[in-house]
Amino acid sequence: MPANILSGKMIADEIKSEVAAEAASLRDQHGIVPCLVAVRVGEDPASSVYVSSKVKTAGELGLRSEQIHVDADITETELADIVSGLNTRDDVDGILVQLPLPKHINERRVLELVDPAKDVDGFHPVNAGRLMQGHDTLVPCTPAGVIEILKRSNIEIAGKNAVVVGRSNIVGKPMAMLLLHENATVTICHSRTRDLPAVTRQADILVAAIGRAGFVRAEHIGAGATVIDVGINNVSDKDLARELFSADDLEKRFAAIDKRGFTLVGDVNQREAMERAGAFTPVPGGVGLLTVAMLMKNTVKAAKMRRGFFNAAAN
């Protein structure tokens, strides 16, 4: 029996509706319109698309948004001054510095300049520390979205074996912490894990976040496991696409390659996962759709926390 596909779109739409209702309540009861400011450096096409999507979604949900776009040759000091200025603006609730930054700019230094109270990406070391200690805080959007998918799909987390493949600060590590806080027993795997398939097959919940197209195959998946594919990779090779997708999906994948030069794929071999897993998030259409929704949720949360009336028990 093929795996149950977990729809990222349906869950993202639910979260956006909730965010819109919260934003309307803040506006009507307190005269507050949560504000997100996105800082984009240079002309990276993907960054342009991502920022435009975030700004557009904010407007649709009743949030105010601004985009600050600067040339790629901006100095690190000049960019730091922009971030520092946004920190001092009381009308700004969320600050997003779109990555990647040009190579001459130290990303870590710039991200650490963001006021933790406005760090809606959840990347600041202060928020990472709060997450590790189990305090309520602003959490990285993608792993937070994974938890929403699991909970809203009625997939039990407490007491389950969860395996995270990948140890990045953006996804892998916070993902492990969030699963641990939900009372899963968590294992983190990486490039030096010995006999990776033997470890991942023990997972009731398997999260793939390593950035390698189709890396997780049937041998990595225990029968009936829930497989969450966080990866987003571009594949232009039709032979590789043929390995990753079933026959009924290949036509649209080939059409995408012919039209755009690539098709989006995850870190999991979708064809094999569909035959082995109990539930599965596809790419596209899965976790990626939750990231923007959770960014909007974090912006409203930041607006409430900064003003001292965030109710942790209700959120």
Give the percent of the chain with pLDDT over 70: 98
CB atoms within 10 A of CB 157: 19
pLDDT given for residue 82 in this prediction: 98
Residue 223 binned pLDDT confidence (cut-offs 50, 70, 90): very high
pTM, entire model? 0.94
Residue 86 binned pLDDT confidence (cut-offs 50, 70, 90): very high
Classify the C-alpha dihedral 138-141-142-148 as positive or negative. Answer: positive
Burial 280-291 (b: 16+ CB within 10 A, else e): bbbbeebbbbbb
Residue of 93, 115, 119, 121 marked catalytic: 121
- Give tens-digit pLDDT for 286-297: 999 999 999 999
pLDDT given for residue 144 in this prediction: 98
Architecture of the 141-290 domain: 3-Layer(aba) Sandwich (3.40)
pLDDT given for residue 314 in this prediction: 44
Instruction: Please give the average per-residue pLDDT across 122-129, as a whole number.
Output: 97
The counts of H helices and E strands in the chain are 12, 11
Given a cut of 90, whether residue 311 has pLDDT beyond it is no
Residue 312 binned pLDDT confidence (cut-offs 50, 70, 90): very low
How many Å apart are CA 262 and CA 281, to the nearest integer?
Answer: 20
Residue of 16, 93, 98, 304 marked catalytic: 98
Given a cut of 70, whether residue 313 has pLDDT beyond it is no
* Residue 98 known to be catalytic: yes
Architecture of the 32-115 domain: 3-Layer(aba) Sandwich (3.40)
Residue of 16, 54, 301, 304 marked catalytic: 54
pLDDT given for residue 315 in this prediction: 47
* Residue 115 known to be catalytic: no
* Residue 259 known to be catalytic: no
Averaged confidence pLDDT in the chain = 95
Given a cut of 60, whether residue 57 has pLDDT beyond it is yes
pLDDT given for residue 1 in this prediction: 72
Q: 188: closest CA among 173, 203, 210, 178?
A: 173
* The domains spanning 32-115 and 141-290 adopt the same CATH topology: yes
Instruction: Please give the average per-residue pLDDT across 41-49, as a whole number.
Output: 90
Residue 190 token pair: 């990486």
pLDDT given for residue 310 in this prediction: 62
Given a cut of 70, whether residue 65 has pLDDT beyond it is yes
Domain boundaries, the chain: 32-115, 141-290
- Give tens-digit pLDDT for 130-164: 999 999 999 999 999 999 999 999 999 999 999 99
